[in-house]
Structure 1
Amino acid sequence: MAAYTTAPEDVEMGLKERMVVLVEKKSSTGLIWKVTGALLVMALCLGGILLFAWYWNGRPEMMTKSSYTEALIEKDTTEKSDPHYRLRRISSKAKAAIHLEGSYEEGESLSDQIEWRNGQGQAFAQGGFRLENNQIVIPQTGLYFVYSQASFRVSCNDGDEEGAGKRLMPLSHRIWRDSDSVGSKVSLMSAVRSACQNTAQEDSYRVGQGWYNAIYLGAVFQLNKGDKLWTETNQPSELETDEGKTFFGVFAL
């Protein structure tokens, strides 16, 4: 069996080789840590830049949304102070609606009654509603809100002489319904006012301004397809027919 011996030179050479290997390993590890640190710093810088850009790009949009919300709140508050706000809000969601403006010229109106007109002023019709023979024709069976207003201005003096009496004048406004299911016309709504009964308005009587009041009717009804609605007013010659004062309408719920 052969024996091997190690010379001092071999031992020294082995130690040198091992020392070289250890130095190389330490250098590789340090380089890795440096590269990793540099990448981490770059990632942090990039993240900061992206965050900064997102904040400034999103800030105008946030400000715009905030201003828009404030405007909506202000608009909503203003609208709710309007007495007709709820009526407009309901009618804006209606599937079908009609709104008519009234006019009256003595001797020319139909049957000495208010003549309802479509396509004039704020008047319109949609969703199948029709105006035929001064009557509103219901397009489909369902629930409807029916409304009407008649405005009056009455001269209350019986004469021009001082101390002349004031005549009482009853004013009435009614909405009729004609339905095949009912078989005859029925009164949906009606109201009566007594004109010239307010003595606090004497100064107005003397200067010829007259007595002014309005009768408003409005309620929900179950109506059938083909039903016809119309109005009847007992003093049409005393009506105020300026735009927005005398009207008649229906809208589906």
Structure 2
Amino acid sequence: MLEATVEPGSRSQSVKPWSKLTTALMVFTLCLASTAAAVLLFNMQSKVDLRHTLRQLAVEKAAIHLVGHHNPSRNNSIEWKDDGDQTHSQGGLKLKRNEIVIPRHGLYFVYSQASFHVNCLTSDAEEGLPQPLVHLSHIVQRWSDTFGKDDEDSYQTILHSLRTACQ
């Protein structure tokens, strides 16, 4: 209940107490504002956690740099070397049986670059005959024991490139 004093000589004013509807609307608005604040705080915390995870990934980079060497005994691939001047490995990545082994589960950004050195000059080229085309391919495949057996069908291609040289 609200009380009002009326001074003598002035008109009387009527002061109405808050209605139940007004009170309910005020409580609803306060609950809505509290819920919005809680959601905002939760979203800010989620963004902080995501930033922390991405920062941790950047700090704990797993990387490997290998050098390829032509080995005539390999039919479909080159032989990878990890013991050269420009090679390095960090984050637990290792070269085993000409494959990169990733020792633990996680999020990895896979990219690859292959540079080819091809000699296009042949004895036929000197006589003005067309030079033979050389097809160069670069394939990166992924294998996991969750794919099935340890055979060629268990590999999944994740990167593929094909170029032709000596045109």
Aligned partners of 2:100 and 2:120: how far apart in 1? 32
2:137 corresponds to: 172
Aligned partners of 2:85 and 2:58: how far apart in 1? 18
SS in 2 for 1:116: strand
2:86 corresponds to: 122
AA of the residue aligned to 2:93: F
Aligned partners of 1:159 and 1:111: how far apart in 2? 26
Q: Is the 8 A contact 2:60 2:91 kept in 1?
A: no
AA of the residue aligned to 2:65: H
Q: Counterparts in 2 of 1:89-128, with a 5 A limit?
A: 93-107=59-73, 110=74, 113-128=77-92
AA of the residue aligned to 2:67: E
Change (3 A) 1:144 1:158: farther
Which structure is higher in strand share? 1
Aligned partners of 1:154 and 1:135: how far apart in 2? 28
Deviation at 1:171, TM superposition (A): 1.4
Percent identity of paired positions between Structure 1 and Structure 2: 39
Gaps of 5+ in 2: 1-56, 149-153
TM-score where L is the length of structure 2: 0.53
Q: Is the 8 A contact 2:134 2:165 kept in 1?
A: yes
1:74 corresponds to: none
Superposed CA RMSD: 2.6
Write out per-residue CA displacement over residues 122-149 of structure 1, whole angstroms, 9 at most, x where no aligned residue: 2122222121101111122122122231
Asked which structure has the greater CA Rg, the reply is 1
Aligned partners of 2:95 and 2:104: how far apart in 1? 15
Question: Is 1:143 aligned with 2:107?
Answer: yes
Gaps of 5+ in 1: 1-90, 198-253
AA of the residue aligned to 2:100: I
TM-score where L is the length of structure 1: 0.36
Write out per-residue CA displacement over residues 181-220 of structure 1, whole angstroms, 9 at most, x where no aligned residue: 23311111111111122xxxxxxxxxxxxxxxxxxxxxxx
Which structure is higher in helix share? 1
Q: Which has the higher contact order (CA 8 A, sep 6+)?
A: 1
AA of the residue aligned to 1:148: Q
Q: Is the 8 A contact 1:156 1:167 kept in 2?
A: no
Match of 2:128 among 163, 170, 180: 163
SS in 2 for 1:181: helix
Change (3 A) 1:95 1:173: closer
Aligned partners of 1:178 and 1:100: how far apart in 2? 19
1:133 corresponds to: 97
Aligned partners of 1:154 and 1:130: how far apart in 2? 32
Change (3 A) 1:124 1:161: closer
AA of the residue aligned to 1:100: L
Question: Is 1:193 aligned with 2:163?
Answer: yes
